[in-house]
């Protein structure tokens, strides 16, 4: 069964304190793994797509990496405006459906 | 970048009312759109996949007569919550993907907060 698990559920960081969020997945053939950011009361905002193990993508203070079993979202020197819920989703090679994790709620304290 | 517009953003109505939510892809065509429901502090729950020109595919446990989906064009899908009751109150979010680019991500609307009194 296709499944996505994110950890931790919640994370509090001091401004400038780097850390990583984890997304573990089980899927019958990975088409793509996607990271989104969701602010309260808003729809998810697309961040990255990763297609194969070893791939990395960067955007400002965020860097996403992928292995055959998990993905990490590394946050370097976070700022309060990085506070949000970060969602991970995978898409199998067959079908259109995305499988979402339950997210990591990140709070960055000034 | 790809933009998906969802309307309305907030609805408050009486029990028994039917509510229609629109989802539009503004700069790409989408043969497939997705409707999600999200409860507070929980992740997205896929309700149905909306297919242009054909019937929607509903997830297990989602009542198709309760949540009517119409995908009449390549840029518009609608979700109608029929005879809404307080337990239907939730945050509903749609998404769409560029039909010409199957490996691309889903792009989401900003959601509709539905409150049934």
Per-residue pLDDT band at B1 (split at 50, 70, 90): low
User: Which tens digit of pLDDT belongs to each residue from B41-51?
Assistant: 788 999 999 98
Tell me what pLDDT residue B52 has: 86
> Are the C-beta atoms of A88 and A32 separated by less than 8 Å?
no
Q: Nearest residue on chain A to B107, judged by CA atoms?
A: A46
> What single-letter DSSP state applies at residue B80?
E
Do the Cβ atoms of A43 and B49 come within 8 Å? no
> Among residues of chain B, what percentage have pLDDT more than 90?
70
User: Which tens digit of pLDDT belongs to each residue from B49-98?
Assistant: 998 888 899 999 999 999 999 998 899 999 999 999 999 999 999 999 87
Q: Nearest residue on chain B to A31, judged by CA atoms?
A: B103
Containing H/E element for A9?
Answer: none
Tell me the C-alpha to C-alpha distance, in Å, between residue B47 and each of A99, B6, B69. Answer: 12, 16, 10
Tell me what pLDDT residue B36 has: 96
How far away is chain B from the Cα of A30, in angstroms, using its nearest Cα? 11
- Is the predicted pLDDT of residue A44 greater than 60, yes or no? yes
Do the Cβ atoms of B41 and A105 come within 8 Å? yes
How far away is chain A from the Cα of B9, in angstroms, using its nearest Cα? 9
How far away is chain B from the Cα of A94, in angstroms, using its nearest Cα? 11
Q: Mean pLDDT, to the nearest integer, of A22-38?
A: 93
B34 touches chain A (CB under 8 A): yes
> Are the C-beta atoms of B65 and B58 separated by less than 8 Å?
no
In the three-class reduction of DSSP (H, G, I as helix; E, B as strand; rest coil), residue B88 is classed as: helix
How far away is chain B from the Cα of A35, in angstroms, using its nearest Cα? 9
> How far apart (Å, rounded) are the C-alpha atoms in residues B113 and A85?
18
What is the CA A98 to chain-centroid distance, rounded?
A: 14
B60 touches chain A (CB under 8 A): no
In this structure, how many other beta carbons lie within 10 angstroms of the beta carbon of residue B103? 11
Tell me the C-alpha to C-alpha distance, in Å, between residue A32 and each of A56, A70, A95, A108. Answer: 13, 12, 12, 29
A110 touches chain B (CB under 8 A): no
A103 touches chain B (CB under 8 A): yes
User: Which tens digit of pLDDT belongs to each residue from A45-67?
Assistant: 999 999 999 999 999 999 999 99
Torsion sign (Cα): B22, B28, B33, B39? negative
- Mean of all residue pLDDT scores within chain B: 91
Among the partner residues A44, A101, A105, nearest to B108 by beta-carbon distance: A44
The residue with greater pLDDT, B100 or A70, is A70
Q: What angle do CA A19, B110, B68 make, to 5 degrees?
A: 125
A98 touches chain B (CB under 8 A): yes
């Amino acid at each position: 069964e296709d499944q996505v698990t994110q950890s931790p559920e919640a994370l509090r960081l001091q401004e400038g304190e780097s850390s990583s969020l984890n997304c573990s997945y089980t899927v019958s053939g990975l088409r793509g793994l996607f990271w989104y950011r969701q602010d309260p009361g808003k729809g998810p905002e697309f961040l990255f797509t990763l297609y194969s193990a070893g791939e990395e993508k960067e955007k400002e203070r965020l860097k996403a990496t992928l292995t055959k079993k998990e993905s990490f979202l590394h946050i370097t020197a976070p700022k309060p405006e990085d506070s949000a819920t970060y969602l991970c989703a995978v898409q199998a090679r067959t079908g259109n459906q995305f499988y979402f994790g339950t997210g990591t709620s990140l709070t960055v304290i000034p | 970048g790809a933009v998906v517009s969802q309307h309305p953003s907030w609805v408050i109505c009486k029990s028994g009312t039917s509510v229609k939510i629109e989802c539009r892809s503004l700069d790409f065509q989408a043969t497939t759109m997705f409707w999600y429901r999200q409860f507070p502090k929980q992740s997205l729950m896929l309700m149905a996949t909306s297919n242009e020109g054909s019937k929607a595919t509903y997830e297990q446990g989602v009542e198709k007569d309760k949540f009517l989906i119409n995908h009449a064009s390549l840029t518009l899908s609608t979700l109608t919550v029929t005879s809404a009751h307080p337990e239907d109150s939730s945050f509903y979010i749609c998404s769409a993907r560029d039909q010409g680019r199957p490996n691309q991500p889903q792009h989401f609307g900003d959601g509709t907060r539905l409150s049934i009194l």
